[in-house]
Amino acid sequence: DGGITQSPKYLFRKEGQNVTLSCEQNLNHDAMYWYRQDPGQGLRLIYYSQIVNDFQKGDIAEGYSVSREKKESFPLTVTSAQKNPTAFYLCASSIPSHGDYEQYFGPGTRLTVT
């Protein structure tokens, strides 16, 4: 079955540590996205990637970094510079080159930093 996987579902880290969230898709989608969700707020875009080896900052990129070395993978690193890293993180993908603008979401990772 095609889809997007995010692992792990729950992640715990100590303050001051970097942590990398995994996102893998086998949908053959060109574009991938990372969103952050906080209670009482909608999703906000962190980074997105149009194609391999290319990525762009979203609205709240500070304290985060990404890489896109493979089409299938778009890992997100939450650095110690991110002031409030505890949140629910969602990865998504789409294939805009085919005129399909729907974004397909993974199941998300809940990150807790203490």
Partner 1 sequence: AQTVTQSQPEMSVQEAETVTLSCTYDTSENNYYLFWYKQPPSRQMILVIRQEAYKQQNATENRFSVNFQKAAKSFSLKISDSQLGDTAMYFCAFMISNTGTASKLTFGTGTRLQVTL
At residue 61, φ and ψ (nearest 5 deg) are -80, -15
Residues numbered 61-100 forming contacts with partner 1, rule: CB under 8 A = 88, 90, 92, 94, 96-97, 99
Backbone angles phi, psi at 20, to 5 degrees: -115, 130
Token pair for residue 72? 């299938």
Considering the complex, what minimum distance in angstroms separates the CB of residue 22 from partner 1? 17
Number of Cβ within 10 Å of residue 36's Cβ equals 23
Our finding on whether 25 is near partner 1 (CB under 8 A) is: no
Tokens describing residue 111 = 């990150």
Between 16 and 39, CB nearer to partner 1: 39
Using an 8 Å Cβ cutoff, are 35 and 47 in contact?
A: no
- Choose the binding region for partner 1 from 14-22, 46-54, 63-71, 79-87 (rule: CB under 8 A): 46-54
What residues make contact with partner 1 under the rule CB under 8 A?
30-31, 33, 35, 40-45, 48-50, 56, 58-59, 88, 90, 92, 94, 96-97, 99, 101-105, 107-108
